[in-house]
Amino acid sequence: MEELIQKLKKEIIEVLNLEDIKPEDIDTNAPLFGDEGLGLDSIDALELIVLMEKNYGIKLQDPNQGKEIFKSISVMADYISKNRTK
């Protein structure tokens, strides 16, 4: 799981172009969205949906599903490990 968490952090930094942030700066349990934590928004959520499909073969049909899955890196990693097809 730790390996997946580290990989995910790197992928998120790359796909969301978080230039000034390093993987160790991201708190695994902190919220990704909103003012606390990383401060991502709805467009980032759509990019994360693309990332899930591209890298893990998980296809989300409804953008609202993202709200639960993208709560934090740890929740996201947990969901990916249970549902990944690649």
Q: How far apart are CA 72 and CA 5, in angstroms?
A: 10
Nearest distance from C-beta of residue 1 to other proteins, angstroms: 25
Site pattern 12..51 for other proteins (x: CB under 8 A): ----xxxxx------------------x--xx--xx-xx-
Q: Does 86 bind other proteins (CB under 8 A)?
A: no
* Coil vs helix vs strand at 71: coil
Q: Does 58 bind other proteins (CB under 8 A)?
A: no
Closest CA to 66 of 47, 53, 54, 49: 49
- The C-alpha angle 52, 55, 56, rounded to 5 degrees, equals 65
Closer residue to other proteins (CB): 3 or 62: 62
Closer residue to other proteins (CB): 5 or 66: 66
